[in-house]
Amino acid sequence: MLLSVYRADYSPKEPVSSPPDALLANKINDSLRDELCTTDAGFGDQNAVDSGFASADEHGAILSGPRTPEDCVRIHTEGNTHLLNDREIAGLVVTGSAAIHALERMTMNPARAVRIRRLAFVQSINKDLSRLPHRNYDYSLVAGRCAENVTGYIPVPLGVIDKLVVDGVETSIPLATTEGALIASISRGCKAINAGSGVDTAVMGDGMTRAPVVQFKDIRQAAAAKMFLETTAAWHIAEAAFNSTTSYGRLQSMTSYVAGRHMYIRFKATTGDAMGMNMLSRGTKNCLRVLQKADRMPDFQVISLSGNLCSDKKPAAINWICGRGKSIIAEARIPRHVLATVLKTDAERLSQLNTAKNHVGSALAGNSSGGFNAHAANIVAAMFLATGQDIAQTVVSSNCLTLLECEEDGDLRASVTMPSIEVGTFGGGTHLPAQACMLDILGVGRSSSASGSNATQLARIVAATVLAAIALSFHSVTKFKGRDQDSQSYEYAAYLANSLTGGIELRRHMRPLSEDVGTIRAQEDWNRLVSPLKGYTGGLGPRWSVMQLAFPECLPERLEVISYANELAFIYDDFTELFDQAKLEKANDAMQAAFDEGLHSGKIASPEGGLKQVQSMLWEEMRQIDEPRAQTAMKAWIEFLKESAGREHEVAHTTLKAFLPYRILDVGEMFLFGLVTFGYGVTIPDEEYDDVRRLSRPCWAVIALQNDIFSWDKELEASKRKGASHVVNALWVIMEEHKVNLEKATEICKEESLKLIDEYMNNVRREQASKRLSRDSLIYLEALLWIISANAVWSLMAPRYYPELKYNELQLEMMERGVRETLALLKVGEGMEILPAEDLNKQSKALKTYLAEVAA
Q: Does residue 295 form part of some domain? A: yes
Please check whether residues 147 and 166 belong to one and the same domain: no
Residue-by-residue DSSP string for 536-552? ---SS-SS--HHHHH-T
Question: What is the Cα–Cα distance from 500 to 560, expressed in whole angstroms?
Answer: 9
* 139-162 pLDDT tens trace: 999 988 899 999 999 999 999 998
HSE of 589, CA atoms in CB hemisphere, 13 A: 6
Please check whether residues 360 and 464 belong to one and the same domain: yes
Determine which of 5-9, 153-157, 331-335, 768-772 has the lowest per-residue pLDDT on average.
5-9
Please check whether residues 189 and 260 belong to one and the same domain: no
Question: What is the Cα–Cα distance from 785 to 793, expressed in whole angstroms?
Answer: 13
Instruction: Give the residue ranges of DSSP H helices in 169-305.
Output: 182-195, 219-229, 232-243, 277-291
Please check whether residues 250 and 125 belong to one and the same domain: no
Q: Does residue 133 form part of some domain? A: yes
727: domain CATH number? Answer: 1.10.600.10
- Output the pLDDT for position 161: 94
Q: Domain count for the chain, please give it.
A: 4
Please check whether residues 133 and 217 belong to one and the same domain: no
Report the candidate in 415, 478, 477, 479 with the shortest Cα–Cα distance to residue 193: 415
Please check whether residues 731 and 784 belong to one and the same domain: yes
Residue-by-residue DSSP string for 495-544? HHHH-TTTTPPEE--SSGGG-SSTHHHHHHHHHHHHTTSTT---SS-SS-
Please check whether residues 150 and 162 belong to one and the same domain: no
Last residue within a domain, chosen from 437, 456, 480:
480
Please check whether residues 188 and 278 belong to one and the same domain: no
Please check whether residues 705 and 781 belong to one and the same domain: yes
pLDDT, the chain, mean: 75
Q: Does residue 609 form part of some domain? A: no
- Output the pLDDT for position 474: 63
Please check whether residues 379 and 454 belong to one and the same domain: yes
Question: What is the Cα–Cα distance from 710 to 708, expressed in whole angstroms?
Answer: 5
117: domain CATH number? Answer: 1.10.3270.10
Last residue within a domain, chosen from 245, 277, 304:
304
Q: Does residue 143 form part of some domain? A: yes
Domain that holds residue 289: 212-304
Residue 160: how many other CB atoms lie within 10 Å: 14
Determine which of 17-26, 412-421, 761-770 has the lowest per-residue pLDDT on average.
17-26
Q: Does residue 514 form part of some domain? A: no
Q: Does residue 50 form part of some domain? A: no
* 419-447 pLDDT tens trace: 999 999 999 999 999 999 999 999 998 76
Q: Does residue 776 form part of some domain? A: yes
* 504-520 pLDDT tens trace: 233 233 333 323 333 33
Instruction: Give the residue ranges of DSSP H helices in 311-358.
Output: 317-322, 336-341, 347-354
- Output the pLDDT for position 794: 57
* 64-82 pLDDT tens trace: 457 888 899 999 999 999 9
- Output the pLDDT for position 558: 76
Please check whether residues 81 and 181 belong to one and the same domain: no
439: domain CATH number? Answer: 3.90.770.10
Between the alpha carbon of residue 41 and those of residues 50, 51, 115, 117, 152, the distances in Å are: 11, 13, 15, 19, 14
Please check whether residues 227 and 197 belong to one and the same domain: no
Instruction: Give the residue ranges of DSSP H helices in 711-836.
Output: 712-722, 730-738, 742-770, 775-795, 808-817, 819-826
* 220-236 pLDDT tens trace: 999 999 999 999 999 99
Q: Before 311, cis peptide (omega within 30)?
A: yes
Q: Does residue 265 form part of some domain? A: yes
269: domain CATH number? Answer: 3.30.70.420
* pLDDT greater than 60 at residue 834: no
Residues near 782 by Cβ (< 8 Å), separated by ≥ 6?
764, 837, 838
- Output the pLDDT for position 340: 74
